[in-house]
Amino acid sequence: MAESTELQARETIHAGGKWRAATSGATREILDPADALPFAVVSEGDEKDTDLAIAAARRAFDEGPWPHTPVTERAALLRRVADLLVRDREKLGRLEAQDAGKTVEEGRVDIDCVADAFRYFADLVAGEAPGRVVDAGSTDIHSVVVHEPIGVCGMITPWNYPLLQASWKIAPALAAGNTFVIKPSEITPMTTIAVIELLVEAGLPDGVANIVTGPGHSVGARLSEHPDVDLVSFTGGTVSGIKVAEAAAPTVKKVALELGGKNPNVVFADACATEEGFDTAVDQALNAAFIHSGQVCSAGARLIIEESVRDRFVTELARRAEKIRLGRGTEDGVECGPLVSEQQRAKVEMYVESALKEGAVLRSGGKRPEPSPQRPEDGYFYEPTVLDHCHREMRVVREEVFGPVVTVETFRTEDEAVALANDTEYGLAGGVWTSDAGRARRVAGRLRHGTIWINDFHPYLPQAEWGGFGKSGVGRELGPAGLAEYRETKHVYQNLAPKPVRWFAG
C-alpha cells in the first residue's frame, strides 16, 4: 500500500462545469488488476454529490442552450469529440487496458469503437427529417409528430467495457439534445472521467455533461430514484438492473436496461466438415469464450455442439485454450489480461468448483496460473477453462459466470440444438455455425436472443440495435432505436381554421 500515499487524489466529480472533490472528502484508490496496486485516486461521491450534479443537469436542460441548439451544431460537436478520441487513442487505450485489465490492443480497439459511436449518432441526427407530417384528413389541419429530448438522463455503466458502454449512452443522449449525469463503475472510472474532459474541450456548454464517481448503492441508487431524472439508462448485472428498475418505478421515469447474458454458441457438424471450417469454428469458439477473459456480456460461454464432432472439437479447443498467453495487458505478446478484481476471480472459482462437484469434466484451466515476469503474483489471473459434459441443471450453465469459462453441451438434432440454446432466462446474443444456409436462417429465426451471429461471433455494428430478450434487458442501444430511447415523442396538431364545436348547447 506504500504506493497509494504517493498518488495524489484527483477531483473527479464534474457538476455544472466545475471539477470538485466529494462533499464528504472521501476518495477511492483505483487498482491495476494485473498487480492489485493502486495507480490513481479518485473522489468517492455519494447522494449529496449526485444531487448537486442532477441539479446542474436539470438547470442546463431547463435553461441552457443545448436542447435547442440546431442539430447540425450538435452533430458537429459530436464529430469534434470523435476527432479528440482519435487524437488521444493511444493514451486512452492504455488507460482502459490498465483500468479494466485488457490488452493495450483491446483498449485501442475500444477507443476506435467509441469514436465510431460518436460519429454514427452525429450522422444519424444530422440526416433526419425534423418531424413526420400526418394526414389529418383536412387541409385546415396541420399535424406533425416530432421527437424532443427526454430531459436529464442518468447513466450507470459497468467495468468490462467502461468507455464503450458509456459512449453508447452519451453519444445518443447528446445527439438528441439531453443533459446527463453519468456514474461509471466505481472500480473503472478513469476513461469516463477522461471523456468528460474531452466533451468540455469540444465546447459542450456547462452543466450538460456531469459525472459522479462513486458506488452503486449510493450514487447509482440516487440517480435511479431522483424525481428530476427523466430517464435512467443502466448497463450491468441483472440483479443491479432490477434494483434500478424498482428505485425508478415511483417516479415513473423511463428505464433502459442492458443486462447480463448466458450466450449459446451452437456448432453443427457440417460447419466442421472441412479442415478449414473446423479450424475457423474452433478459433472463433475460443475467441467467443475467452476474449477479455470472458468478461463480456455477449461471451459465447455455452458451447452447444453436435455430438458427432464433440470430442475432436473440444480436444482442439482445450489445447488452444491452454496456449493463451496470460499477463499484464501492457506487456508485449500478452493475449489475455487478468480478471478485474479479486471478487470477480472468487466468483469464477466458485462456479468452476460447483461445476466439478456436479459432474463437469475439466479439459483445460480450472486454476490460477503460476506467477511469471508478465504475471505478477498479486494479479487476478485465472486460466482459460473448458468444462466438458455439462448439462442444463448445472449452475455454471444457467448463471452468468463472467469469466474465462466455457461449458460444453451436446445435441443430436436441430430441434434439440434450438431448445438448448433457448433454455436460458437471458437472451442477449448467440452464434450458429453451419454450412447449410437454410438451416442457418431457420435456426437464427427460432433463437430468442437480441443478436444472432451466423458463422461469426462478437461483431456488432453501431447502426444495428443491441440489446436483450428476457432478463438480458429492456430497450435497445445503438441504431435508430438507441437514439429513440433518449427522446420523447410529441404530436403537434394545429387547426388553421378554428371554429366553435358546439358540443354543449348553452
Site residues, ligand NAD (CB under 6 A): 156-161, 165, 183, 185-186, 215-217, 220-221, 224, 235-237, 240, 243-244, 258-261, 297, 400, 402, 428, 468, 472-473
Least Å distance between CB 372 and ligand NAD?
27
Hunting for cell 381554421 — which residue is that?
497
Least Å distance between CB 405 and ligand NAD?
14
Can 258 be counted among the known catalytic residues?
yes
What angle, rounded to 10 degrees, do the helices at 71-87 and 89-100 form? Answer: 70
* 499 vs 502: CA distance, rounded Å: 9
Q: Which lies closer to ligand NAD via its Cβ, residue 350 or residue 361?
A: 350
Q: Which lies closer to ligand NAD via its Cβ, residue 98 or residue 224?
A: 224
Least Å distance between CB 179 and ligand NAD?
19
Amino acid identity for residue 65 in this structure: P
Can 390 be counted among the known catalytic residues?
no
Classify the C-alpha dihedral 355-361-363-365 as positive or negative.
positive
Closest CA to 162 of 70, 222, 93, 210: 93
Pick the catalytic residue from 44, 225, 258, 383: 258
Least Å distance between CB 323 and ligand NAD?
27
Burial of 15 (0-12, 13-18, 19+ CB in 10 A): buried
Closest CA to 61 of 489, 488, 492, 491: 488
Q: Which lies closer to ligand NAD via its Cβ, residue 374 or residue 451?
A: 451
The DSSP result for 166-185, as a single string, is HHHHHHHHHHHT-EEEEE--
Burial profile 193-216: b = 16 or more Cβ within 10 angstroms, e = fewer: bbbbebbbebebebbbbbbbbbbb
Least Å distance between CB 497 and ligand NAD?
51
> In what helix (H) or strand (E) does residue 13 lie, and over which residues does it extend?
strand 13-15
Least Å distance between CB 436 and ligand NAD?
30
* 103 vs 87: CA distance, rounded Å: 20
Q: Which lies closer to ligand NAD via its Cβ, residue 174 or residue 429?
A: 429
H helices of 127-264, in order, are: 162-176, 190-202, 221-225, 238-248
Radius of gyration over alpha carbons of the chain, in Å?
24
Amino acid identity for residue 254 in this structure: K
* 474 vs 256: CA distance, rounded Å: 6
Q: Are 408 and 303 a contacting pair, CB within 8 Å?
A: yes
Q: Which lies closer to ligand NAD via its Cβ, residue 43 or residue 185?
A: 185
Q: Which lies closer to ligand NAD via its Cβ, residue 244 or residue 406?
A: 244
* 317 vs 477: CA distance, rounded Å: 32
Identify how many contiguous H helices and E strands the chain contains and give both numbers: 16, 20
User: Could you tell me which residues come within 8 angstroms of residue 31 by beta carbon, excluding any fewer than 6 positions away?
Assistant: 37, 38, 39, 187, 341
The DSSP result for 232-248, as a single string, is EEEES-HHHHHHHHHHH
Least Å distance between CB 157 and ligand NAD?
6
Q: Which lies closer to ligand NAD via its Cβ, residue 116 or residue 388?
A: 116
Side-chain half-sphere exposure of 435, counting CA atoms within 13 A: 12
Q: Which lies closer to ligand NAD via its Cβ, residue 362 or residue 474?
A: 474
Least Å distance between CB 258 and ligand NAD?
3
Q: Which lies closer to ligand NAD via its Cβ, residue 215 or residue 376?
A: 215
Least Å distance between CB 92 and ligand NAD?
18
Pick the catalytic residue from 106, 186, 225, 297: 297
Active site residues: 258, 297
